[in-house]
């Protein structure tokens, strides 16, 4: 045999094991990073589902009020009466769930999602107090004549994920002008 090969005594095996260990460690780090990225993307998707459900419910509620004048009137009158009751008794709750209160004419939309439980979406409506003297800017506006009564309300929709880790809340204000009102 050649004397050159006798003096190596397995150094090729040691070098190949070191290279194989380095490659294995690199592959494990890459797999861990991809797992973390998959979790991050999954969380972003869940958050987007929660946001879409919240905005979808709020848009649905607003559209129903816009297209159904009687429903709009009922919601705003209920909000105003609760507000007036709270002035006399501050312990009175000033908000209510329009989907529960007016379930005969208003159905709450449902969403098929693992992220949102059945009771995870709540809606509320409440009256917003009109600051003193705000009716004067409404004089001469289209349909107001000498002045309008104004009803201000806020519609709020909140959504919580099934595990409670993600929550979203959106609110819009609604103002209804009642021509020929007292201009309160």
Distance CA 95, CA 99 (A): 12
Q: What is the pTM of this model?
A: 0.70
The residues, any chain, with a CB within 8 Å of residue 29's CB and separated by 6 or more, are none
DSSP 126: E
**Contact, 126 vs 173, CB < 8 A?**
no
Residue 58 phi/psi, 5° resolution? -65, -45
Distance CA 94, CA 114 (A): 32
Residue 160 forms beta bridges with which residues? 167
Model pLDDT, residue 36: 86
Model pLDDT, residue 136: 42
184: nearest Cα among 148, 144, 137 = 148
Model pLDDT, residue 183: 40
pLDDT string in tens for the chain (184-residue length): 555 656 666 778 888 889 999 999 999 988 888 888 888 898 888 889 999 999 999 999 999 988 888 888 888 888 888 888 888 888 888 899 999 999 998 888 888 788 887 678 889 888 877 666 554 445 555 555 555 666 778 899 999 888 888 889 999 888 776 665 444 4
């Amino acid at each position: 045999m050649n004397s050159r090969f006798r003096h190596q005594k397995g150094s090729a095996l040691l070098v190949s094991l070191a290279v194989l260990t380095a490659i294995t460690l690199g592959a494990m780090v890459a797999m861990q990073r991809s797992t973390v990225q998959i979790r991050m993307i999954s969380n972003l998707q869940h958050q987007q589902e929660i946001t879409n459900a919240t905005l979808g419910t709020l848009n649905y509620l607003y559209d129903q009020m816009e297209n159904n004048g009687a429903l709009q009137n009922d919601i705003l009158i209920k909000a105003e009466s609760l507000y007036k009751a709270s002035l006399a008794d501050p312990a009175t709750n000033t908000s209510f769930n329009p989907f529960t209160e007016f379930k005969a004419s208003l159905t709450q939309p449902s969403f098929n999602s693992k992220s949102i439980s059945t009771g995870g979406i709540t809606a509320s409506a409440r009256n917003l107090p009109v600051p003193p003297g705000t009716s004067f800017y409404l004089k001469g506006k289209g349909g107001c004549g000498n002045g309008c009564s104004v009803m201000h309300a806020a519609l709020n929709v909140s959504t919580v994920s099934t595990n409670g880790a993600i929550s979203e809340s959106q609110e819009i204000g609604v103002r209804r002008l009642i021509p020929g009102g007292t201009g309160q």
